[in-house]
Structure formats: structure tokens, C-alpha cells
Structure 1
Amino acid sequence: MSKKTLVLGASLKVDKYSNMAVNRLKQSGHEVVAIGLKQGTIDGVSIDTDLMPYKDIDTVTLYLNPKNQASYYDYILSLNPKRVVFNPGTENPEFYNILEMNDIDFEVACTLVLLSTKQY
């Protein structure tokens, strides 16, 4: 089942995990949207630099360190995702609490591992 996913912190650099995640999500049949600092495309997925009012987001997968996440809290909540995935290096107990208060599930996990083990 396809899970529309927002990759937040997407990078055009092919050696970055966020870039790999966009590719693997697409290869796994998921619809992908992405926000990053620089516009461009990854495997046909446009990277937006503005906070877009995406609809029907199932999962937000984070590639931003905790101090850079705070300015995105309200935006992520506005998307009303089913879950947020905190990839290694993005762990953020403050945001966990905010998500819990808003009945949004979260996972501290690696998107690439979840995909490779069919747990996504």
C-alpha cells in the first residue's frame, strides 16, 4: 500500500540519506513529495523550497537536526500526517511530546532500514 511521504530536509547530493530515501521510497511504490533548501529534482521528484500545503500525507520523514525542526512544528502539524519518522540524528523528545498531544504517531527509526526490511 502506497504511503504518501514528505521527505523534509531533502538534498540534491546523491550521498545524503535524504536523497537515498526519496529514491528508495519511489522504488518501493510510494508517492513522494520533498522540501529542501535548494530546488531541483531527485528521480523525478521536485524539491520544493517553500512549505507547500500538501494533502493526504501519511508520513513525514525528517532529515533535519532537532534545532532546525522547531520552525517546522506548526507546518508538520498542519499536514496532519499519520506518523513522523525521526531518522538517526533527528531524535527530538520535545517534538515527540507535541506529536503525542496532537495524536500523531512517531517512530525513531531509519526510513531506509524500514523500507529494506518491509516495515515501512
Structure 2
Amino acid sequence: MKKTLILGATTNPTRYAYLAANRLVTYGHQIINVGIKSGEVAGQPIEKPIHIYKHIDTITLYLGPQNQKEYYNYILQTNPKRIIFNPGTENAELESLAVQNGIEVQEACTLVLLSTNQY
């Protein structure tokens, strides 16, 4: 299954990042939660964006464009195969940087991709 880094992970059960973390685990994917608040989601801790992970298939974004810039280097150094820009996270600048670095970009909803077997 695909190792997925959730950027913008949260313990708030009403947020889509929370729902996606749980759904990814339900579908058998390994997750890494990265966010600014401490806690645990879907059995995994929420980590600060310090450790650069390798061998990440997908970064699924749950940060608005105004909050993404400080994570550009982190995202690019992680070098995932793809970045999913969930609704409300679309960012032409980051998408362009990703493509220039050989990273596939997808404007889509992680929850929809999972439920339609397109993840």
C-alpha cells in the first residue's frame, strides 16, 4: 500500500484531515501525520515537520495556500511521488515547483479517491 504523509494533520474529528487519516488506515495505507499540534490520529502521533521522510508515495495537503509557503522546502526535500491538493489547498506556485522537481500533482479529494478506488 502507499505510504502517505498527511500535512496538516489534526485531532479535530470534524476536519477532513482527520477523516482522511482514519480512512487511509482503514484502506490499509501507512500514514505519517505531520502538523503543528500534538496528539494522535488513526493510531499515529502527529509530528512536527522536522524529520524529512524518504520513500513517501503521497503527500496529501490539508493546509490552505497561505500556510503552505513555509513547508515548500520540507515538501520538496521529502520528494514524494505525488502531492494531492485537496479542495481549498490548490496552489499554482507549489504545483509548479513540484512539477519542476518531478513530482506528480493532483487536484483531488483524498476521501473521494479512496472511496472510488482511484487512490
| TM-score grouping bracket, smaller chain normalisation | over 0.9
Which residue pairs with 1:65 in the alignment? Answer: 64
TM-score calculated relative to the size of structure 2: 0.97
Secondary structure of the equivalent of 1:10? Answer: coil
Q: Which runs of 5+ in 2 are unaligned?
A: none
Encode CA deviations 1:60-108: one digit per residue, 9 max, x unaligned: 0000000111111111110110000000000001111111111100100
Paired residue type of 1:95: L
Which residue pairs with 2:97 in the alignment? Answer: 98
Relative to structure 1, the CA distance from residue 33 to residue 101 in structure 2 (aligned partners, 3 Å threshold; closer, same or farther) is: same
Q: Distance in 2 between matches of 1:50 and 1:109?
A: 23
Q: Distance in 2 between matches of 1:35 and 1:8?
A: 5
Identity of aligned residues (%): 51
Secondary structure of the equivalent of 1:72? Answer: helix
Paired residue type of 2:45: S
Q: Distance in 2 between matches of 1:23 and 1:59?
A: 16
Secondary structure of the equivalent of 2:68? Answer: helix
| Structure 1 stretches of 4+ moved >2 Å | none
In the TM superposition, residue 42 of structure 1 has moved relative to its aligned partner by 1.0
Q: Which runs of 5+ in 1 are unaligned?
A: none
Secondary structure of the equivalent of 1:100? Answer: helix
The CA RMSD measured in Å over matched residues stands at: 0.8
